[in-house]
Structure 1
Amino acid sequence: MLTELMEPWDLNLRHLAAFLETCRKGSVNAAASSVSLSQPAVTQAIARLESQLKLALFDRQTNGMRPTEPARQFHSRVERALNFVGSSRVTSAQAKAFVALARGGSYAEASALTGLAPASLHRSISDLELALGRDLVERRGRGIELTKRGRETARQFRLARAELNAGLDELSIFRGENEARISVGAMPLCRAKLLPSAVVEFQKSRPSSELAIAEGSFMELIEPLRDGELDLLIGALRTPSPGPDVIQTPLFEDHPVFLGRRDHPLRHRSGAVTLEELTGYSWVLPPRGVPLREQWQRLFEQDRLKVPDIPVESGSAMIIRQLLMETNYLTVLSPDQVAIELEAGWLGIVGRPPEQLSRTIGMFTRAGWYPTEMQEEFVDTLKKHSEQSGH
């Protein structure tokens, strides 16, 4: 795969600007004046890009340069990437160094991430601050911290990298490789059934694709999504919305149940379990702020009942299962999350909450996200399988 051989920052940003202007102007001469390079320099820049990408980007004609189909495809990605970078004075080396520093949190860690000497990183960051005319890093004791403008710049550079990465994936199709990598953030519920089933079907139709799945809570995954490190995030939708920069797309409604061990005292009584009876037991639930936890708490508050004790907070189905099997603790989860435990008889349904205790499971994407063809196919597969996941 090309993206394994080439890091997006291996592409020279000035060469990309020259490519963009040649597409727009239709000639090397006109492009040269726009990007402040000589005509031979623009010619060399395009030749270098074609060599790196292993594709012809222009048909050379007597009356100018005509972009090929791969060039027209790549054009929009380059345009978006350069808009995110925001300055023609920034180099790829500077952007790479700064993103590494932002990720590592220190010059030593950035050096380990990039293989560059700390002195080279210091020089790149200093040159970047001069180029942008702003302070990006400030010292805090023996460490460093990004300024507010530094954090904003790091995000813009990460988004630029994501666009270039998507462009490289799209170009692989023109070389007959038809390969791509999709990065998905997975919150607890979707890991049980929806995501695995969608991945299996997708890889049957796209066997050369790669999917990187990052597991975590909403708070752990939302910033990587905003940074372009994740293409999409799947889990319970939030109210209110995370912000105007994030789009929430509903997939299905999930209806959780009350769960306990198979021989829990509440499973051996006649009639439906009441909320008042549930207050007499301790619970294992996700942390505050998780929609399911907040809805669960409102059930008791609306009936003016004491909210049960929660001695353990966890969003891990594995941890919850073990705690429930060895105690009289209760929890509330989707049956999909403990399907194996229910089938094996380790856990049992203690009761079913009122209809208002439900959650919308959906997809989070960045506002303005422009998916590749393969990413669109994966989203379509995800939507297809979500139709089978509601209860």
Structure 2
Amino acid sequence: MKYLPKINQLKVFQAVIRHGSIRAAARILNQSQPALTRSIKELENSLGTALIIRGVRGIQLTEAGRLFSIRMEIILSELQKATEELQHVNEQAEGHLRIGCSSLILLTIYPKMLADFKKYQAKAALFLKEGQLSSLMPELRENRLDFAIGSVSENIPLHEFIEEPLFEASFTILCRKGHHLENSTELEQLVNANWMIPATDMGYYQQLQNLLGGMYGRLASAPLFTDSVVCGLNLVLKSDYLIIIAKSMSKPFFLEQYFSEIKLKSVLPKATYSLIYPRNIPLTLTANRMIKILRWHCQNTDWSALY
């Protein structure tokens, strides 16, 4: 490769991918289609390979284009972060922060974390994605998240990331008050119940599958699989479903008014929640600031007092 690609060529390529065609990208970038076509052709010439195939329905990436686009997104993202950090040196940066975390964090310590963070960077733009760690990992790999918080297990590959354990959380089985099974003490008594089961098979829920796997196959009614806590709680309240949920999520939702904990003789395993961030990509100053706040709240929160 004789010359490295130019930044404006990368941005044009990025816009074409995001908007699906050269025509749409030209409209968004306020440039002519021939100018964008020329820029893409120059990029392909510098790389020595075709990146896109044009068709009547827009563009398709070649295999080389797909591979290059992944690296390109990281390059442009890192360049944006570097620019923000230079501005931050003068204490004028607004900054951007992209976090992925489970509903447990959002319903417990996140409001206090956010208030503390805003004391230092009131103008920082925060992007928050809720989800299980299994759904957040692809975005971490593509540098679309600065860091993530979730429950880990042996089947989540973390060799390219740094994992920092933060806290342990206890889980329980909930039903609506007055449910005919609310006084059950053995898993065997719950075989004929309707269950809402997490859709993911990673993190803490892998431990649950190991514990309850034998029971799943003997359920009288096929369980509903979903990662939506709101959907699950609504089904528990209105359709007699059972749900497994972190105990510390009960107070934020005021669940104790409407739900009962099924107290089994065998205790459900605890979940370890960890901070996950890329090993080879440096964290921004903004991300480091939020992580320091996150650590403080995790260390100074009495998780047992939340339930």
TM-score w.r.t. the length of structure 2 is 0.85
What's the C-alpha RMSD, in Å, of the aligned pairs? Answer: 2.9
Give the aligned partner of residue 209 of structure 2: 297
Structure 1 residue 89: deviation in Å?
Answer: 2.7
The answer to whether the 8 Å contact 1:301/1:307 transfers is: no
Deviations 1:89-112 (A, max 9, x none): 311111001222333344355445
2:12 is the counterpart of 1:97 = yes
Deviations 1:340-371 (A, max 9, x none): 34455122212358456232212221221212
CA distance in 1, matches of 2:225, 2:149: 21
Give the aligned partner of residue 84 of structure 2: 169
Give the aligned partner of residue 227 of structure 1: 142
The answer to whether the 8 Å contact 2:156/2:203 transfers is: no
TM-score w.r.t. the length of structure 1 is 0.68
CA distance in 1, matches of 2:199, 2:153: 15
- The count of corresponding residues between Structure 1 and Structure 2 is 303
2:274 is the counterpart of 1:359 = no
Structure 1 residue 185: deviation in Å?
Answer: 1.6
2:128 is the counterpart of 1:213 = yes
Gaps of 5+ in 1: 1-85
The answer to whether the 8 Å contact 2:197/2:224 transfers is: yes
Give the aligned partner of residue 117 of structure 2: 202
Structure 1 residue 301: deviation in Å?
Answer: 3.6
Give the aligned partner of residue 282 of structure 1: 194
CA distance in 2, matches of 1:385, 1:373: 19
Structure 1 residue 277: deviation in Å?
Answer: 0.8
Give the aligned partner of residue 237 of structure 2: 325
SS of the equivalent of 2:148 reads: strand
Q: 2:156 aligns with which of 235, 241, 255?
A: 241
CA distance in 2, matches of 1:317, 1:217: 11
CA distance in 1, matches of 2:68, 2:302: 40
Give the aligned partner of residue 127 of structure 1: 42
Task: Report percent identity of matched pairs.
Answer: 24
Deviations 1:30-64 (A, max 9, x none): xxxxxxxxxxxxxxxxxxxxxxxxxxxxxxxxxxx
Higher mean alpha-carbon deviation, 141-150 vs 185-194, is at 141-150
SS of the equivalent of 1:371 reads: coil
The answer to whether the 8 Å contact 2:196/2:243 transfers is: yes
Larger Rg: 1
Give the aligned partner of residue 337 of structure 1: 249
CA distance in 2, matches of 1:146, 1:334: 43
Give the aligned partner of residue 157 of structure 1: 72
SS of the equivalent of 2:251 reads: helix
Deviations 1:204-230 (A, max 9, x none): 233333322123444543233222221
Structure 1 residue 296: deviation in Å?
Answer: 2.5
Give the aligned partner of residue 314 of structure 1: 226
Give the aligned partner of residue 372 of structure 1: 284
Deviations 1:288-343 (A, max 9, x none): 42434433332234679725644422212211111111121101011233423445
CA distance in 2, matches of 1:158, 1:347: 46
Cα distance change on mapping 1:362 and 1:305 into 2, 3 Å: same
Letter in structure 2 aligned against 1:287: A
Structure 1 residue 133: deviation in Å?
Answer: 0.8
Considering fraction of residues, name the structure with more helix: 1
Give the aligned partner of residue 107 of structure 2: 192
Q: Which has the higher contact order (CA 8 A, sep 6+)?
A: 2
CA distance in 1, matches of 2:146, 2:32: 31
CA distance in 2, matches of 1:195, 1:358: 21
